[in-house]
Amino acid sequence: MQKIKNDRGLSIIIVGCGKVGTTLVEQLSREGNDVTVVDKDAKLVQTLCGMYDVMGIVGNGASYSVQMEAGIESADLMIAVTDSDELNLFCCVVAKQVGHCATIARVRTPDYSSEVGYLCDKLGLTMIINPEMEAAKEASRILNLPSALEVNSFAHGQAEMIKFRIPQGNVLDGMNLINLGKNFGSKILICVVERSGKVYIPSGAFRLAHGDVISFVASREMTKQFLKAIGFETGQVKNTMIIGGGKAAYYLAKQLLQSGIGVKIIEFDPARCEELTTLLPKAVIINGDGTNEDLLKEEGIEYVDSFVPLTGIDEENILLTLYARQVSNAKLITKINRISFHEVINGLDLGSVIYPRYITAEAIIAYARAKRNSMDSNSIETLYHLFDHQVEAIEFRVTEDSPVTNIPLRSLNSKSDLLIAFINRNGSILIPSGDDCIMKGDTVMIVTTHTGFNDIKDILR
């Protein structure tokens, strides 16, 4: 990815050096921020300080003296992502009392997650983020449109970016993008094409081929119309089998049941099964070993519409997905927490792959970039990393007139490898032509192989 330099970095304290903390350190330090990590585990702190240009402090992140040592008085942002919800909240409370920084806490417990507004208001938190809930939302969007490999939401749900693979013999196979508008109108835009591991931001002359993985943007209502027109099924799944009954399974089951999708959960712990039976009275809860082949067949894995392994072990999730691929035609979603053996994982047919740590990190990085751009203006609405972080999709809020506004897009001196994917104007999604202009009050989605954009003006050369 091409990197945009910006001299004005934030002073950021990250408490917790686990999977999410490590991802945040990697991304936020790469973008030129001044990062300090805090964790009780000296080995974790030492490892991160050795890998990245960050400061490290060993200690309790909720301790006043430790926060003072970390520089809380002059910090711009405190991010607490330890394994304890209570510790994360307490870290932020202490930080608000001692410093004047924004605070973000990772909170995963359902009881707290239903009280986000109250907690943010009363404790002065900037953001509470729940990785399991966000992963469940992503899985739910995919199961509501199972032809897609990935479904990303923009403009408060008014627009979507859909990723899918072109099958052999499909109407898109061999089509030039310039002909797409002639055949399907100008209400969708193909933004990214991945072919043989290489990513393209395509021009009109680009010719599609079977096997290409493409991402297109459209308004929510146009998404299904386009997929249907090119021969894809657009109905939601009728039922799903979930392996593992943890927090992510609870959040996902709750959303699917609300959409009228039947849910069966297989969970090993009898006590957790009892809890889930109470929490999800409309779901079928099975007490058993979800990795047992005989049990899976007995419970109907060969006939389910969709299959989602949500155990806490990546290797189990991967093996379960590969097994389901062999014995069923189910839509598959695989949750992966660690990123080891990334190339091997990419070579496996795991259906739609969800990384909760990246979902969490992206929401925080979007906030950090917006704060970096303007201490009192949150100009970035949404941020997604796509195609193994080779592409960024960023939704900007245009709060003022600038060199990018009121000028036809064809006349903008914008960077290469960049597309203006849509303009959201008063709730209407516009796939822009060269004659359209960005205007104050719009939100605008940019798709690019550059990284580090903080402001809509960064699209200019």
The token pair that represents 125 in the structure block: 């938190």
6 with 125, same domain: the answer is yes
| Strand ranges (E), 372-432 | 380-386, 391-397, 418-425, 428-430
Q: Is residue 113 part of a domain?
A: yes
Residue that wins the pLDDT comparison between 182 and 445? 445
State yes or no: pLDDT of 374 exceeds 80: no
Q: What is the mean pLDDT of residues 286-290?
A: 97
For the stretch 15-34, pLDDT in tens is 999 988 998 999 899 888 99
Q: Is residue 197 part of a domain?
A: no
For the stretch 46-94, pLDDT in tens is 999 999 999 999 999 999 999 999 999 999 999 999 999 999 999 999 9
Query: Which band of pLDDT confidence, cut at 50, 70 and 90, is reported for residue 274?
Result: very high
pLDDT, residue 117, reads 83
State yes or no: pLDDT of 265 exceeds 50: yes
* Cα 256 to Cα 277: distance, rounded to the nearest angstrom: 16
For the stretch 90-118, pLDDT in tens is 999 999 988 889 999 999 888 877 788 88
Residue 353's SS3 state is: strand
Q: Mean pLDDT, the chain, as a whole number?
A: 90
* Cα 263 to Cα 238: distance, rounded to the nearest angstrom: 9
pLDDT, residue 1, reads 40
State yes or no: pLDDT of 412 exceeds 80: yes
For the stretch 203-257, pLDDT in tens is 888 999 999 999 999 998 899 889 998 999 888 999 999 999 999 999 999 999 9
DSSP state of 89: H
Q: Is residue 138 part of a domain?
A: no
Q: What is the mean pLDDT of residues 280-305?
A: 97
For the stretch 293-334, pLDDT in tens is 999 999 999 999 999 999 989 999 999 999 999 999 999 999
Residues 234, 147: contact at Cβ < 8 Å? yes
Domain boundary among 354, 385, 406: 354
Residue that wins the pLDDT comparison between 60 and 6? 60
Q: How far is CA 175 from CA 207, 240, 433, 434, in A?
A: 5, 35, 20, 22
Q: Is residue 21 part of a domain?
A: yes
pLDDT, residue 373, reads 63
Span between the terminal Cα atoms of the chain, in Å: 16
10 Å CB burial of residue 58 (0-12, 13-18, 19+) is: middle
DSSP state of 259: T
Q: Is residue 201 part of a domain?
A: no
Instruction: Count other C-beta atoms under 10 Å from residue 259's C-beta.
Output: 11
Handedness of CA 370, 84, 11, 359 (dihedral sign): negative
CATH number for position 124:
3.40.50.720
| Strand ranges (E), 107-201 | 127-129, 150-154, 159-165, 188-195, 198-200
Residues 37, 11: contact at Cβ < 8 Å? no
pLDDT, residue 170, reads 93
Domain boundary among 129, 163, 191: 129
pLDDT, residue 237, reads 95
**Which residues lie across from 35 on neighbouring strands?**
12
* H helix or E strand, kind and range, residue 2: strand 2-3
Domain count of the fold of the chain: 2
Range of the domain at 41: 2-129
For the stretch 421-435, pLDDT in tens is 999 999 899 999 899
pLDDT, residue 340, reads 67
* Cα 409 to Cα 420: distance, rounded to the nearest angstrom: 9
Domain boundary among 311, 326, 354: 354
* Cα 141 to Cα 306: distance, rounded to the nearest angstrom: 13
pLDDT, residue 377, reads 45
Residue showing tokens 């208001």: 121
Query: Which band of pLDDT confidence, cut at 50, 70 and 90, is reported for residue 380?
Result: confident
Q: Is residue 409 part of a domain?
A: no
pLDDT, residue 339, reads 62
Q: Is residue 186 part of a domain?
A: no
* Cα 320 to Cα 137: distance, rounded to the nearest angstrom: 21
Q: Is residue 121 part of a domain?
A: yes
